[in-house]
Structure 1
């Protein structure tokens, strides 16, 4: 379950599905993750390396993890930022989860109580520990 050439770090990336959802990314084949204007989330984008994996999370509508993406290009300047201060990465879909894992399931699971998704609920790009990653994958298979 190691992830390519990346650092072995895992992430969670939120997107509003009515703006850019899983199906949009799959249709494109590769998407630019931009528009992040929170310093901590931007620092997480800067820390990503090619081959790292992330959960694709539908925020607002659905509030669930729906798939896995891989970082295909890292260290980019956000093309939507005219001042060139904000970070971006490119991502490619890896696979859709067998079953989405909802925010309610995550909040109700003691093994996931420390997730940034819960503790820093407004953070759009967060860190996921290996233990959290493996646990969520197991939950998505049941």
Structure 2
């Protein structure tokens, strides 16, 4: 099993939205590196759900990858802000996964706490200039994040 971090702005899609819906497509990713990470995900992988562009930002829960290698439907919808006119149904450019709710943390693991406990080499999220919305998390780092959640 692999671990990932998925960022979302809570006013766009929050952990509470996922809890209510139970599953969702992680659509609208328009960065090639993040797309490649989505394509590398496997069914059963776990992802930390991170609220970004909020005060404070941080990890608020956990979700599981339920389905992989799904052509992102938003790329084909001219009404979508994620529409890509260079993409076609027979040659999609953007891929996604379906994730399911696992857990909402009782207390957020804030970015400040993550900075205190991890180095930028351990956690890509902490690297200067990193704006990826999808990133891998090494299993040892994931274990330490899970331990942080348990200690809160």
The reply to whether TM is greater than 0.5 is yes
Correspondence for 2:64 among 62, 70, 83? 70
Moved more, 41-50 or 119-128: 119-128
Show CA shifts across 1:77-109 (max 9, x none): 111112121011100011112421111111112
TM-score with structure 1 length normalisation? Answer: 0.89
Summarize the Cα distance change of 1:139–1:113 in structure 2 as closer, same or farther, 3 Å threshold.
farther
CA–CA distance in 1 between the matches of 2:72 and 2:25? 9
Contact preservation (8 Å) 1:111, 1:132:
no
Show CA shifts across 1:54-85 (max 9, x none): 00000011311011100011001111112121
Deviation at 1:111, TM superposition (A): 5.8
Equivalent residue for 1:102? 110
**Larger Rg computed on CA atoms:** 2
Gaps of 5+ in 1: 1-7
- Taking the TM superposition and a 5 Å limit, the aligned residue runs for 1:57-136 are 57-61=50-54, 62-82=56-76, 83=87, 84-110=92-118, 114-119=122-127, 121-136=130-145
Equivalent residue for 1:49? 42
Summarize the Cα distance change of 1:105–1:20 in structure 2 as closer, same or farther, 3 Å threshold.
same
Summarize the Cα distance change of 1:112–1:34 in structure 2 as closer, same or farther, 3 Å threshold.
same
Moved more, 63-72 or 103-112: 103-112
2:38 is the counterpart of 1:29:
no
Q: Which runs of 4+ in 1 moved over 6 A?
A: none
Secondary structure, aligned partner of 1:81? helix
Gaps of 5+ in 2: 77-86
What is the total number of aligned residue pairs between the two structures? 135
Instruction: Give the RMSD, CA atoms, in angstroms.
Output: 1.4
